Amino acid sequence: MNWTKSPNQDFEEDNRGWPKGKRRNWAKATEEKVEEIYKELESDPEQFYVGATAIEQRWREKYLNISPPPLRTIGRILKDLGLSSKRKKGRNKGAARYLCYPEYSIYEALGGRVAEADFIGKKFIVGRTEPVNFISFCFKKEPKLRYFQRIEDQTANTIINECEKFFKKFEKPDFLKVDNCLATIGSASGKRNLSRTMLFLLKNQVIPIFSVPRKPFSQASIEGNNSVFSRKFWNREIFESIEHIDERLKAFNKCSQWYTGYKLPEKKHEPKHNFIPKVFFIRQVKEYNDKACINILNEEIFLKNAFVNYFVLAEWDLKTETLIIYFEKEQQQKIIHMQSFKINQRSKKGASLSFDQ
């Protein structure tokens, strides 16, 4: 283009049609509606969310014939009115992308609905010695959902029971992404074992995905979910009893479902006749004795040194008893390693799941 080659260009000139550094104005009526809805939400004891998304949801309910402004506009109006608070940005997102965290592989390439579950850190209330435990569930992709439940303990029995309730109440996902705690992954020393949680999920045709150990950002959506729980629920008021917690938690879950706009699916999760039991593990490659390796169920898997520090996705096919390691780069998967990975015979004998279907 000639204009790009002209030596007489004024790089400080701004001809975009809007004064540089000046905000666009919105109708006063729009600003008043946003402020009015904000105050309504803020004063409602059954409401836990007052940000742009909550305002958009309430706007649609209140003004049926008037489309709400874009979320970004609502956010700017709130900021101009001094009604917004600053949010801390995640620090690891860039590093995860740089180190090839398999985000696309998990949420897109696997080709199914992914739910996430996690125990929330122990809480305490005045007058009670025992900690108060919670479990959280979420769907990161549309239709999104946040759900929390008070539990008695953080054991395998509990996560199995709560998953069963969640599947019946909402929907059964194709995959469940969980942490690497003993309640989910099982033995801290036994090799190639199938934990009770794994077996429960596989019997329900839900494939477990284990996150990166000691890397909370690899569970970013569920950790964000837990942060919302702390900010919007737990730190919001002083709880006087377990009954008080349960009562308010019921209201919080109802409000969270309204906030995300979640609707139950029209079709239920139909059993798959060709279901192949698998388990996935997200791991970061470490250097061990000058070799690159990852740890899968207490077995060291050695890879090429070029992959040290990068993330990989391991797929354990229980039918063929094969472990396949994938490396994702620019949303493309590549197999970088494959080996036999036999199920521990004790574990296999104790399982009623058929691996030879």
pLDDT attached to residue 266: 85
Among candidate residues 127, 181, 188, 191, the one with its CA nearest the CA of residue 158: 181
Among candidate residues 206, 60, 77, 221, the one with its CA nearest the CA of residue 136: 221
Contact 312, 336 (CB under 8 A): yes
3-class secondary structure, 209: strand
Centre a 10 Å sphere on the Cβ of residue 26 and count the other Cβ atoms it contains. Answer: 15
Distance, in Å, from the CA atom of 185 to the CA atom of 158, rounded to the nearest integer, reads: 14
198-209 average pLDDT score: 97
CB contact at 8 A, 154 and 161: no
Residues 300-317 pLDDT 10s: 999 999 999 999 999 999
Give the pLDDT band of residue 275 (cuts 50, 70, 90): very high
- Of residues 349 and 34, more confidence is placed in 34
Between 217 and 75, the more confident residue is 75
pLDDT exceeds 50 at position 319: yes
SS3 336: strand
pLDDT at 92 over 60: no
Three-state SS letters, 286-325: EEECCEEEEEECCEEEEECHHHCCCEEEEEEECCCCEEEE
Q: Average pLDDT in the 92-97 region?
A: 65
pLDDT above 60 (res 290): yes
pLDDT in tens, 181-200: 999 999 888 899 999 999 99
Share of the chain above pLDDT 90, in %: 71
Name the residue with higher pLDDT: 357 or 321. 321
pLDDT tens by residue, 43-53: 998 899 999 99
Max Cα–Cα distance, the chain, nearest Å: 81
In angstroms, how far is CA 240 from the centroid of its own chain? 30
Across the range 148-173, mean pLDDT stands at 97
Q: Please, which pLDDT band fits residue 357 given cuts at 50, 70 and 90? A: very low
Residue 294 CA, chain-centre distance (Å), reads 23
The beta strand positions in 157-298, using DSSP E, are: 175-178, 207-210, 278-284, 286-288, 291-296
Q: What is the pLDDT of residues 15-44, one digit of tens each?
A: 555 555 555 667 889 999 999 999 999 999
Look at residue 164 and give its three-state secondary structure.
Answer: helix
The yes-or-no verdict on residue 57 having pLDDT over 90 is yes
Residue 253 CB-density burial (10 A; 0-12 exposed, 13-18 middle, 19+ buried): middle
Residues facing 151 on adjacent strands: 133
Q: Strand 322-329 to strand 332-340: parallel, antiparallel, or no bridges (unpaired)?
A: antiparallel
147 close to 167: Cβ distance less than 8 angstroms: no
**Do residues 296 and 208 lie in contact, with contact meaning Cβ atoms separated by under 8 Å?**
no
Residue 317 near residue 278 (C-beta atoms within 8 A):
yes
> Between these two residues, 296 and 28, which has the higher pLDDT value?
296
Does residue 81 have a pLDDT over 80?
A: yes
